Amino acid sequence: MTGKPWLKMYPDNVAPTIQVGDNEHLAGLFEDACQKYSSRIALSCMGVDITFRQCERLAAEFASFLQHEIGLQKGDRFAIMLPNIAQFPIALFAAAKLGVICVNTNPLYTPREMRHQFKDSGAKAIVIMDLFVNKLEEILPETDISAVIVTSIGDQLPLWKGVAVDLALKIKGVVPKTHLKTYRFREALEKGARLSYERPHMEADDIAILQYTGGTTGISKGAVLTHRNLLSNVRQLQEWSKFYVEKGSETILTALPLYHIFALSVNFISFFTIGGRSILVPRPVPIENTAKIFKRYKITAMTGINTLFNALNNSDDFRKTFSRELKFAMAGGMALQTSVSEDFQRITGVRIIEGYGLTEASPVTHCNPLRHDLPVGSIGVPMPSTEAKIVDDDGKELGVGQVGELVVRGPQVMQGYWQRDDETAKVLKDGWLFTGDIARMDESGFFYIVDRKKDMILVSGFNVYPNEIEGVLVSHPKVLEAAVIGIPDSHSGESVKAFVVKKDESLTEAELKAYCDKNLTGYKRPKSYAFTKDLPKSNVGKILRRELREQQVGNSTKA
């Protein structure tokens, strides 16, 4: 490949490069936005609005508490285990002010998954929803966490209403009892309000976030994302969309979870820092919860994955109340099905813009132009200051139309995996990030995902790695061997199917389901099971998942 053929596909006046200064950091970006858009609403959740001025004050109070009461210092790791409520961005903003490294954690994680992430990161403190404290209590002694800040749904509501909501949930038994010594979020803010935090010296290359992801080994690893990485992706996204986005006037639907890098980078950081208002949706499912947002607010932008768009398309409420102000919708996380895209455009008049990214790239590397006749099925072209190419198994660059592995290079690419040089060396080579996705590029510079590493399973936009699931299954005392594959699923794109060889013939599917419920987050749990006498293996004893997939396809064809 010669040159960068995709540059001619760039919208007019979109710069091919972006810059981030050596002394820039997220805190400065947030603070500038809060000053510039002080009276505008920054966050809305459950009927409560928070202005940019209030965000700055709350973040400063929480930062003061973290620094003086808990003793967090620059470089310490701080876990955030919250759904899409106002406390999440406030906690992230506060950590950024102190140079503290955030460890974003799925609030639905099981104790086993939490234990690994907290031990691996060395997190010293955590802010967590009261609904999940019992899970933390189970594994806390095995971690370095010494301070637990507990928040609730009621904490983001007016005092009297918040107390009533929290009391009702406790009476219903929704909030588990705990014997942990904890700080309450409201109390933390009150203590912080009487103090003043001290800003450490920060630079663009300081670590901002450890964003955990899976890997081909199934071991969850922390992608080291610096302030420069995140700011670069923000600049790229803002440059790309500048003719569609009006500073200080956009309202974005944030239904995707903020603990996921897609929503964190695109919905929160990118829109917050240009004065956008984010509508936080703590429980987007059932889909009516999301659809009614369009009736209440004039949504101008949204992000989603294929399953979310598909659910909206099939929602009577959405079809009746979707926002006529909607300018654009961006899809990522998993392949966007053509039928879903067409239905959404028919209903709303807005075409979904598909992009591509991965946790290790903060996350966006490719996006379709917002003002261009888009080729069907394309993930778009590389973002400003981003290079991409297709290589063969030996790393040799391939030509136009040839299929190989997609590799990318740019300022948004991570520094590596936290304390895992061996895993880093597998994916970062001479500055290029090897994505593991199989793709091709056409003559115009548009890229297309052809396939991905076969063993990975993509469930509703989340990577699921067989080794992790198999490790849980074989830890059951009645299981001899296990293998899992992804099978097509009309709802989630793919679902997990487990093939199990029994050690004890009394083993039942119900037992396995209960065991996986305890040890795996919902999207990782097998949706179907097959008991078998043996599993296909290579001559060295390696289980051949490929043969299981082929058998599955064969059985589906016969059916």
SS (H, E, C) 17-81: CCCCCCCCCHHHHHHHHHHHCCCCEEEEECCEEEEHHHHHHHHHHHHHHHHHHHCCCCCCEEEEE
Rounded distance between C-alpha atoms, residue 226 and residue 186, angstroms: 30
**Distance of CA 155 to CAs 22, 40, 87, 186, Å?**
37, 21, 8, 7
Rounded distance between C-alpha atoms, residue 374 and residue 360, angstroms: 26
Do 42 and 277 form a contact (C-beta atoms < 8 A)? yes
Rounded distance between C-alpha atoms, residue 412 and residue 230, angstroms: 6
Rounded distance between C-alpha atoms, residue 209 and residue 227, angstroms: 8
With a CB cutoff of 8 Å and minimum separation 6, the contacts of 398 are 389, 390, 391, 392, 404
> Which pLDDT score, from 0 to 100, does residue 5 have?
96
What are φ and ψ of residue 279, in 5° steps? -95, 105
Nearest to 236 by CA among 17, 22, 387, 29: 17
If DSSP codes are grouped into helix, strand and coil, which group holds residue 347?
helix
pLDDT at 296 over 80: yes
219 confidence band (pLDDT: 50, 70, 90) = confident
Report residue 382 as tokens: 């590389």
Per-residue pLDDT tens over the stretch 28-78 = 999 999 999 999 999 999 999 999 999 999 999 999 999 999 999 999 999
Look over the chain and give the mean of its residue pLDDT values, rounded to a whole number: 92
Report residue 541 as tokens: 């004893």
Residues belonging to the chain: 559
> Which pLDDT score, from 0 to 100, does residue 215 have?
44
Per-residue pLDDT tens over the stretch 171-190 = 777 888 888 999 999 999 99
Q: Average pLDDT in the 401-422 region?
A: 96
pLDDT at 557 over 70: no
Rounded distance between C-alpha atoms, residue 180 and residue 178, angstroms: 6
Per-residue buried b or exposed e for 346-355, using 16+ beta carbons within 10 Å of the residue's own CB = eebebebbbb
- Say which residue the tokens 């948004």 belong to: 412
pTM of the prediction? 0.88
Report residue 357 as tokens: 């990214």
Do 391 and 441 form a contact (C-beta atoms < 8 A)? no
Q: Average pLDDT in the 351-378 region?
A: 91
**Long-range Cβ contacts of 490-495 (<8 Å, 24+ apart):** 491/307, 491/310, 492/307, 492/459, 492/460, 492/523, 493/306, 493/307, 493/334, 493/335, 493/458, 493/459, 493/460, 493/461, 494/457, 494/458, 494/459, 495/457, 495/459, 495/526, 495/527, 495/528
**Distance of CA 122 to CAs 80, 119, 390, 436, 518, Å?**
13, 5, 37, 28, 24
Nearest to 259 by CA among 136, 137, 134, 126: 126
Per-residue pLDDT tens over the stretch 506-534 = 999 999 999 999 999 999 999 999 999 99
Assess if CATH 3.30.300.30 describes domain 464-558. yes
pLDDT at 2 over 70: no
Report residue 269 as tokens: 């950081």
pLDDT at 1 over 50: no
DSSP at 244: T
If DSSP codes are grouped into helix, strand and coil, which group holds residue 274?
coil
Do 259 and 82 form a contact (C-beta atoms < 8 A)? yes
Do 492 and 541 form a contact (C-beta atoms < 8 A)? no
Q: Which helix (H) or strand (E) holds 556?
A: helix 545-558
Do 145 and 121 form a contact (C-beta atoms < 8 A)? no
Sequence-ordered strand ranges (E) for 119-239: 125-129, 147-151, 183-184, 207-213, 221-226
Per-residue pLDDT tens over the stretch 103-120 = 999 998 999 999 999 999
Q: Which helix (H) or strand (E) holds 428?
A: strand 428-429
Do 301 and 251 form a contact (C-beta atoms < 8 A)? yes
Report residue 365 as tokens: 């590397």
Q: Which amino acid is at 14?
A: V
Q: Average pLDDT in the 367-377 region?
A: 84
